[in-house]
Chains A and B, each alone.
Chain A
Amino acid sequence: MTKNRPSTGAFETAAENAASERYVLRLYIAGTTPASSKSVENLRAICEEHLKGRYELMIIDVFQQPLLAKDEQIIAVPTLIKKLPAPLRRIVGDLSNEHRVLVGLDLKPK
Chain B
Amino acid sequence: MPKHSTDPEAAGPDPNVEALLARLEEAESTLSAIRDGHVEALVVSSEGGPKVYALEGSEHRYRRLVETMSEGALLVSPTGVVLYSNAAFADMVAFPLERVIGKTLAEFVVHRQEHVLLALLEGAGARAGSGELTLCGALGNERPVYLSVAKNSPAEEPGLSVIVTDLTEQKRNQQIVASERLANAILEQSAEPIIVCDVNGVIIRASGAARSLAGARVLRRHFFHAFPFQAVVDDQEHPVLAALRGRTTAGREMTLLGSRSVQSFLCTAAPLLDETAKILGCVVALVDISDRKRVEAARSSLLDAERAARASAEHARTEAEASSRAKDEFLATVSHELRTPLNAMLGWSQLLTNNTLPAEKLEHALEVIQRNVLAQSRLVEDLLDVSRIVSGQMRLDVQAVEPIRVVSAAIESAKPAIEAKRIQLEVHLDPNAGQVLGDATRVQQIVWNLLSNATKFTDNDGKITVGVSRTGGTVEIVVSDTGQGIEAEFLPFVFDRFRQADGSFARRHGGLGLGLAIARHLVELHGGTIEVESTGVNRGSTFTVRLPFAGSRNSPIPLAGLAPVLDFEPPSRLAAPELRGIRILVVDDDDDSRDLVVSILEKCEAITIAASSAEQALAIVMRDRPDVLVSDIGMPGMDGYELVRAIRALPDERAQRVPAVAVTAYARQEDQRRALAEGFQLHVAKPIEPAAFALAVARLSRGAEQLISP
Contacts and interface: CB of A to CB of B under 8 A. Distances in A.
B157 A61 contact: no
B102 interface: yes
Nearest to B99: A58
Nearest to A74: B35
A102 B102 CA distance: 18
B304 to A, nearest CB: 86
Given A61-B101, A64-B86, A75-B31, A31 B63 contact: yes
A64 B102 contact: no
B84 A41 contact: no
A35 B58 CA distance: 17
A59 B102 contact: yes
B102 A34 contact: no
A35 B97 CA distance: 19
Nearest to A38: B157
A29 B101 CA distance: 10
A29 B42 CA distance: 16
B81 interface: yes
Nearest to B156: A34
Interface string A25-61: 0010101101011101101100000000000011111
A13 interface: no
Contacts of B86: 64
B97 A37 contact: no
Given A63-B67, A64-B67, A64-B97, A32 B84 contact: yes
Contacts of B87: 64
Contact of A58 (B75, B98, B159): B98
B34 interface: yes
A17 interface: no
Given A36-B83, A37-B159, A44-B81, A27 B75 contact: no
B637 to A, nearest CB: 146
Given A37-B75, A41-B77, A75-B31, A61 B102 contact: no
A90 to B, nearest CB: 12
A61 B97 contact: yes
Contact of A73 (B35, B79, B156): B35
A65 B97 contact: yes
Contacts of B79: 41
Nearest to B161: A32
B201 to A, nearest CB: 52
Interface string B57-88: 00100010011000000010101011110110
A68 interface: yes
Interface residues of B, number: 25
A63 B86 CA distance: 10
Contacts of B84: 29, 31-32, 36-37, 40, 61
A2 B67 CA distance: 41
Contacts of A40: 77, 81-84, 101-102
Interface in B131-160: 156-157, 159
B338 to A, nearest CB: 133
B102 A27 contact: yes
A96 to B, nearest CB: 12
Contacts of A57: 102
A22 to B, nearest CB: 16
Nearest to A68: B98
B157 A37 contact: yes
Contacts of B157: 34, 37-38
A44 B102 contact: yes
Contacts of A44: 81, 102
B153 to A, nearest CB: 13
Interface in A71-89: 73, 75-76
Interface in A2-37: 27, 29, 31-32, 34, 36-37
Most chain A CB inside 10 Å of its own CB: which residue of B31, B63, B102: B102
Contacts of B81: 40-41, 44
Contacts of B102: 27, 40, 43-44, 57, 59
A44 B83 CA distance: 10
Contacts of A32: 63, 66, 75, 83-84
Contacts of A43: 102
Contacts of A37: 75, 77, 83-84, 157, 159
Given A29-B101, A40-B84, A58-B98, 7 more contacts: A31-B59, A41-B79, A59-B101, A61-B97, A63-B63, A75-B31, A76-B42
9 interchain residue pairs of minimum CB distance: A59-B101, A58-B98, A37-B83, A59-B102, A40-B83, A32-B84, A41-B77, A60-B98, A44-B81
Interface of A: 27, 29, 31-32, 34, 36-38, 40-41, 43-44, 57-61, 63-65, 68, 73, 75-76
27 contacts: A27-B102, A29-B101, A31-B59, A32-B63, A32-B84, A34-B156, A34-B157, A36-B84, A37-B75, A38-B157, A40-B84, A40-B102, A41-B77, A44-B81, A58-B98, A59-B101, A60-B98, A61-B84, A61-B97, A61-B101, A63-B63, A63-B67, A64-B67, A64-B87, A64-B97, A65-B97, A75-B31
